[in-house]
Amino acid sequence: MKAANANDIIQLRQALAQRFPQVRTWSEQPPQKSRSCWPTGLPSLDALLQGGLPKGALTEVVGPRSAAGTATFLHALVRRSHQTRQFAALIDGHDSFDPGALTNAALSRLLWVRCHSAEEAIKAADIVLRDRNFPLVALDLKTNPNAQLRKISPTAWYRMQRIAAQNGVTLVVLTPLAIGGCADARLNLESRFTLDDLAKEPEALALVLKFELVRWALGGAADATAAQAG
């Protein structure tokens, strides 16, 4: 019997992830420190990912619609791109992004593409990822109906993943359920803010976000680990 090589194993993992997206997959080793990454500025999240969000990869951040946190996370990414003098693109899948918590200076480095369906958002992401001027691209599908999300073909996910890899882009997709079967990394975001938390400044609020790494397919996946940013 022929022994399976690394490519065979990767293809098998991708096929399983596509067929059974609800199953958590990880393996023996933590994320590699040597991999190029995009630091988020959230200390515990960056520590969890050994430096930050992986460059040239698709990271899926899953957060139930009933839970808070994804908007705060997006705001933190936009602020970080401004602080590091980088441009970022936000593909808003359901025209739901609220820029009110951000300064005009932070928004000056953001390309905000306002869409009304998941189909529009996927097409927009395909174009923006090819541009090469945006080190960070966020695709927000958090509030899109499940019926729209289920119509996104596996081919579309693999195409976005491939373009991100070719151009070295950090691609972050926010979803209400695990749908990106080929995601290189998957994080669960389940933050419920207290009244005391909501009284904090936006930057401090981002530090109480809670992440759990449940998939890592970049040279070995990490054990599922809970982390509180802050």
Does the domain at 41-228 match CATH 3.30.590.20? Answer given as no
- pLDDT for res 152: 96
For residue 37, give the amino acid letter: C
- pLDDT for res 98: 92
- pLDDT for res 200: 75
Rounded to whole angstroms, the Cα distance separating 137 from 135 reads: 7
- Reduced to 3 states, what is the DSSP secondary structure of residue 44? helix
Phi-psi region of 15 (alpha: psi -120 to 50; beta: other; left: phi over 0): alpha
**Is 138 in contact with 40 (CB distance < 8 Å)?**
no
Which parts of the chain are beta strand (E)? 37-38, 53-54, 57-62, 88-92, 110-114, 136-140, 170-175, 185-189, 210-216, 225-228
- pLDDT for res 172: 98
Rounded to whole angstroms, the Cα distance separating 39 from 145 reads: 31
- pLDDT for res 13: 60
Rounded to whole angstroms, the Cα distance separating 201 from 12 reads: 45
The whole model's pTM is what? 0.80
**Is 193 in contact with 208 (CB distance < 8 Å)?**
yes
Please report, in tens digits, the pLDDT of each residue of the chain (230 residues total).
444 455 555 566 666 666 665 554 444 344 555 579 999 999 989 999 989 999 999 999 999 876 668 999 999 999 999 999 999 999 999 999 999 889 999 999 999 999 999 999 999 999 999 999 999 999 999 999 999 999 999 999 999 999 999 999 999 999 999 999 899 999 999 777 777 766 777 787 788 899 999 999 987 444 444 444 44
Rounded to whole angstroms, the Cα distance separating 40 from 53 reads: 7
Query: Which residues touch 24 (CB under 8 Å, ≥6 apart)?
Result: 214, 215, 224
Q: How far is CA 3 from CA 9, 17, 179, 230, in A?
A: 10, 22, 31, 45
- pLDDT for res 84: 96
- pLDDT for res 201: 78
- pLDDT for res 225: 45
**Is 158 in contact with 182 (CB distance < 8 Å)?**
yes
